[in-house]
Amino acid sequence: MSLQRFIQHALSEWMKGKGPQSDIVISSRVRIARNLSGLPFPMLATSSQSAEVVRRVEKALHQAKKHPVLGDAELIRMDDLNELQKRVLVEKHLISPQLAEESRHGAVILSKNEAVSIMINEEDHLRIQCLFPGFQPDDAWRLADQLDDWFEEHLSYAFNEECGFLTSCPTNVGTGIRASVMVHLPALAMTQQLNRLFPAITQVGLAVRGIYGEGSEALGNLYQVSNQVTLGQREDEIIDKLQGVVMQMIEHEQNARRRLRETSPIQLEDRIHRSYGILSHARFISTKEAMERLSDVRLGVDMGLLNNVSASVMNELMVMTQPGFLQQFAGQRLDPEERDIRRAVLIRERLSTEGNPEESGKTR
């Protein structure tokens, strides 16, 4: 498979698209947890009950032929995918590691542009997820809300008046909504301000995590900010609060970038160009180093200090240099050392096609 074709095939809309505030906010996501009434939650469901969940959802989906989003969506069963294919879906943030590894009769409905992914038989029967580029949690919520309404017309949800939508885990009960925004905060990290920022965020009831969710390490200065409370607040209140807090984070990051430019412009440029140099010439690079260097280069692009690369290339590379993607691209399983070599090749090739003046003229 050619690199170009693989990229086109491999990229989700959120990686290609330029959204609002995309110099700092990578993506906005909303997921809604729902369960069907009359069937135990996936943890206790028998194999035939789990199969029944998929059957009901698939039957509903058959009635969605004319739906603008679900009309051309595809239902993919985990059992039909190999390990590498599942891993790629995880790295593209379309499914969770749990669905890939542990689910029984797990499946996912993917819209054509991959902005919508609906997991079946993960922790809950349904996890409706909308992923948008840039800072637009309200748009992601609106779409998730519409899809939820559509499914509710065709399926009976587990709901009670007092507790709202019933979920497997008590941390999701009520609205079942988890809204999260992925932010790139290199300047705050460089100026050591995250230590002060994060405790403040947790104090207002939001959580900060690394990019692959719970317990994952923060690679490449990328952080996920999300709501914790799902019960007792309306969905729009939850979204508004998250939006307000992230808006302030954006402002802090902008200020930190401005200050860096004012106080240490040479050091900043040096760091960015050094990282660019390493990425375009390295023969061997780990995920961790690649993510750090990509973060620097991305900062350079976003601050206008580096003109021969586009921001979307940075988005692509941040996903494509992950282990699963590399192996998918290579078409075989690779040991860590081989991965580091392939990763370096991939980054070099991508940056060199990008550095071509004709190509970059188009992207800018």
Partner 1 sequence: MLCQECGKRPATLHYTKIINGEKTEFHLCEVCAQEKGEQMPGAEGGFSIHHLLSGLLNFDSHPQAGGQEQTGVKQETLRCPTCGLTYSQFSKIGRFGCSDCYQAFRERLGPLFRRVHGHTAHRGKVPQRTGGQLKIQREIERLKSELNQRVANEEFEEAARLRDRIRALREKLES
Minimum Å gap between C-beta 57 and partner 1 is 16
Give 238 or 246: the residue with its C-beta nearer to partner 1.
238
Whether residue 212 is annotated as binding a ligand: the answer is yes
Q: Which residues bind partner 1 (CB under 8 A)?
A: 35, 37, 39-41, 43-44, 123, 145, 148-149, 152-153, 156-171, 173-175, 177, 194-195, 198-199, 202, 205, 208-210, 214-215, 217, 229-235
CB count in 10 Å sphere of residue 95: 27
Determine if residue 180 is labeled as part of a ligand binding site: yes
Distances, alpha carbon 259 to alpha carbons 150, 184, 185, 358, in Å: 48, 17, 14, 34
| C-beta of 86 vs 342, nearer to partner 1 | 86
Question: At closest approach, how far in Å is the CB of 55 from partner 1?
Answer: 18
* Contact of 166 with 176, CB cutoff 8 Å: no
178 labelled ligand-binding:
yes
| For partner 1, the closer CB: 41 or 276 | 41
> Does the annotation list 209 as a binding residue?
yes
Tell me the three state secondary structure of residue 270: helix
Give the type of residue at 187: A
Q: Is 333 flagged in the annotation as binding?
A: no
Nearer to partner 1, 104 or 209 (CB): 209
Q: C-beta of 161: minimal distance to partner 1 in Å?
A: 6
Distance CA 134, CA 299 (A): 15
Q: How far is the CB of 249 from partner 1 (least distance, A)?
A: 15
Region label for 215, one of left (φ > 0), alpha (ψ between -120 and 50) or beta (otherwise): left
Shortest Cβ distance from residue 198 to partner 1 (Å)? 6
Asked whether residue 28 is marked as a ligand-binding residue, the answer is: yes
Alpha carbons 358 and 361: distance in angstroms, whole number: 5
| Complex with partner 1: residue 19 or 323, whichever CB lies closer | 323
CA dist list (Å): 208 to 9, 34, 127, 247, 263 = 31, 24, 21, 15, 29
C-beta neighbour count of 229 within 10 angstroms: 15
Do the annotations mark residue 93 as ligand-binding?
yes
> CB–CB of 43/98 below 8 Å?
no
The CB-of-222 to partner 1 minimum distance in angstroms stands at 14
Of residues 168 and 295, the one with the C-beta less far from partner 1: 168
Residue 303 assigned as binding residue: no
The answer to whether 234 is a known ligand-binding residue is: no
Tell me if residue 221 falls in helix, strand or coil: coil
Rounded to whole angstroms, the Cα distance separating 120 from 75 reads 10
Q: How far apart are CA 259 and CA 275, in angstroms?
A: 21
**Alpha carbon distance 59, 251 (integer Å):** 47
* Rg, C-alpha atoms of the chain: 21
Residue 80 or 149 with smaller CB distance to partner 1: 149
Closest CB 294 distance from partner 1, rounded Å: 22
CB of 39 or CB of 131, closer to partner 1:
39
- Burial readout 141-160 (b: 16 or more C-beta within 10 A, e: otherwise): bebbbebbebbeeebebbee
Shortest CB 35 distance to partner 1, Å = 6
Q: Residues forming the annotated binding site?
A: 27-31, 93, 127, 178-182, 209-214
Q: Residues forming the annotated binding site for ATP?
A: 27-31, 93, 127, 178-182, 209-214
